[in-house]
């Protein structure tokens, strides 16, 4: 990679940041598109986040991604928010438009893109169950509602957190019904009617842990399971779902899709198809 006097800089703010696959994925896409730019990981501590964001403007960075623990903290620090990001309450991408910093969240729209591409699932009019009630769940719930899901259930091991999330979403999102559930082994009984699609937004599976197999009976025959978790091997949930004859995919496609949406926001063009995904497959996850 040759840097010139005109090389544009994009990057990632995180703490930690060294484990991230975004630099290798984004730089591969930048090179494939022959753009004079570079994507740099920046280790930014929470105390330094406001100065780092101001630095986007002062150093003329084209934009950044934000990862743990900055997605919520960066939200009030930008000049303008994309409408979906405003409802989600967190941002994973900033674009610098002539010194004006615009915050976006491409996680939820990346998820919907991955559902279409990997599982051929269009969520419009569908019943979807989300496992978890954290930031990843919130981004997913907003994107699913925007994409026309008719019903979204949120099941969490701490019921109160699911209740609070739903109360929040119900006032901001129209057209989708929400319901909360305690996530334990009795979830399929409590749910009553099975769902077309179940999405794991918790970190369960990242280190090979599995849910109780009973969770799969929440999904209708012919339905699908998406695991936001991605690991080099098939995640336990994806393995269990495929064994139960359900269509299933892991989070690799979402990681690539949220990255390509950010790329398009910075560079005004889509990355070449498949470059990000293939790079992720080659480099795996830690």
Asked if 214 is part of the footprint of ligand ATR (rule: CB under 6 A), the reply reads no
Q: Which range of residues in 58-66, 127-135, 172-180, 190-198 is near ligand ATR by CB under 6 A?
A: 127-135
CB of 49 to ligand ATR, least distance (A): 17
CB of 195 to ligand ATR, least distance (A): 18
Q: Which range of residues in 35-43, 78-86, 128-136, 249-257 is near ligand ATR by CB under 6 A?
A: 128-136
Nearer residue to ligand ATR within complex by CB, 204 or 275 = 204
Residues in the chain: 286
Asked if 111 is part of the footprint of ligand ATR (rule: CB under 6 A), the reply reads no
Task: Determine whether 71 is an active site residue.
Answer: yes
Considering 70, 71, 126, 277, which one is annotated as catalytic?
A: 71
Asked if 161 is part of the footprint of ligand ATR (rule: CB under 6 A), the reply reads yes
CB of 260 to ligand ATR, least distance (A): 21
CB of 5 to ligand ATR, least distance (A): 39
Nearer residue to ligand ATR within complex by CB, 30 or 141 = 141
Q: Measured at CB, which residue is nearest to ligand ATR?
A: 134
Nearer residue to ligand ATR within complex by CB, 106 or 156 = 156
| Residues 179-208 contacting ligand ATR, CB under 6 A | 183, 201-204
Residues with a catalytic annotation lie at 71
């Amino acid at each position: 990679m040759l840097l010139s006097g005109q090389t544009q800089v994009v990057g990632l703010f995180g703490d930690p940041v060294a484990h991230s696959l975004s630099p290798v994925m984004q730089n591969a896409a930048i090179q494939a598109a022959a753009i004079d730019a570079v994507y740099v990981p920046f280790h930014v501590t929470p105390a330094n986040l406001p100065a780092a964001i101001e630095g986007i403007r002062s150093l003329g960075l084209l934009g950044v991604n934000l990862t743990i623990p900055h997605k919520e903290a960066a939200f009030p620090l930008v000049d303008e928010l994309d409408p979906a990001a405003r409802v989600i309450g967190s941002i994973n991408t900033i674009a610098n438009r002539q010194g004006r910093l615009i915050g976006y969240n491409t996680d939820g729209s990346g998820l919907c893109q991955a559902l279409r591409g990997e599982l051929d699932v269009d969520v419009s009019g569908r019943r979807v169950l989300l496992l978890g009630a954290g930031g990843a769940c919130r981004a997913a719930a907003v994107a699913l509602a925007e994409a026309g899901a008719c019903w979204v259930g949120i099941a969490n091991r701490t019921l109160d957190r699911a209740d609070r999330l739903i109360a929040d979403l119900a006032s901001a999102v129209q057209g989708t019904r929400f319901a909360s559930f305690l996530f334990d082994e009795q979830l399929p009984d409590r749910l009553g009617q099975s769902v077309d699609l179940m999405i794991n937004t918790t970190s369960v599976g990242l280190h090979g842990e599995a849910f109780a197999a009973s969770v799969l009976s929440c999904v209708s025959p012919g339905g699908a399971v998406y695991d936001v978790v991605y690991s080099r091997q098939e995640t336990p949930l994806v393995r269990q779902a495929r064994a139960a004859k359900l269509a299933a995919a892991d989070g690799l496609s979402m990681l690539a899709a949220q990255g390509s949406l950010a790329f398009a926001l910075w560079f005004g063009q889509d990355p070449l198809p498949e470059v990000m995904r293939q790079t992720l497959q080659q480099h795996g996850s830690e």
